[in-house]
Amino acid sequence: MNLLSQIESILFVASKPLAPQIIAKALGVKESEVAAVVEALKIKYNRDRSGIHILQEGNEIQMATNANNAEAVEAFIKEEAVGELTRPQLETLTVIAYRGPVTRPELEQIRGVNCALILRNLLVRGLIEEEDDAEKLGMTYRLSFEALRHLGIKEAAELPEYQTLHAHEYVERVLENEETCPEPGRRMKK
């Protein structure tokens, strides 16, 4: 097990700052081991020539872009935010619209792929909102008010065939791990 690699990956996909105890619990290691790896990652990344830095504020850690690159990152994000949505982004947005609020693990179970970067992009575009859900023990995603306004509806339940698709039998089976996700391009049957 390469702990540095694992923590580096977790910080990369995390959409929010993480406490060391959360990382330690997820990996089954001691907090002191996480702290040592975070220090090693700071040495690796926190250099002027690195595009990535490890930020630590109090008891929270996050991977972020180098502040010196703010203009370049802002220009790229602005370009990404105005471009057309990709097919995977549209599929993810559709699942969130019809199934939300949905957790990332549920979304990934339904879609069959990692959705971390897609979720980050949809958040940047303002199409979805993220909120902490104590009942589901994590972050959930739902359509933003901006997305609803753009679609001309007041709530997701106004979407076509919402009731049928929200509680679709196939999705229920997937979430209960009774069936794996279809191959890309295969459509769900009603």
pLDDT, mean of each 10-residue run, the chain (190 residues) = 90 85 93 95 94 92 91 77 81 89 87 86 89 76 89 88 78 61 42
CATH number of the domain that 88 lies in? 1.10.10.10
Q: Given this model, what pLDDT does residue 183 score?
A: 43
Domain of residue 126 covers 84-175
pLDDT of residue 1: 66
Residues 64-85 pLDDT 10s: 999 899 888 888 777 666 678 8
61 lies in some domain: yes
Main-chain dihedrals φ then ψ at residue 46, nearest 5 degrees: -80, 70
Note the pLDDT of residue 45. 95
Cα 91 off chain centre by:
14
Angle separating helix axes 31-45 and 20-27, nearest 10 degrees: 110
Query: Residue 136's pLDDT is what?
Result: 66
- Total domains, the chain: 2
**Does residue 171 lie within any of the structural domains?**
yes
| Non-local CB neighbours of 109 within 8 Å, separated by 6+ positions | 174, 175, 177, 181
Q: What is the pLDDT of residue 80?
A: 64
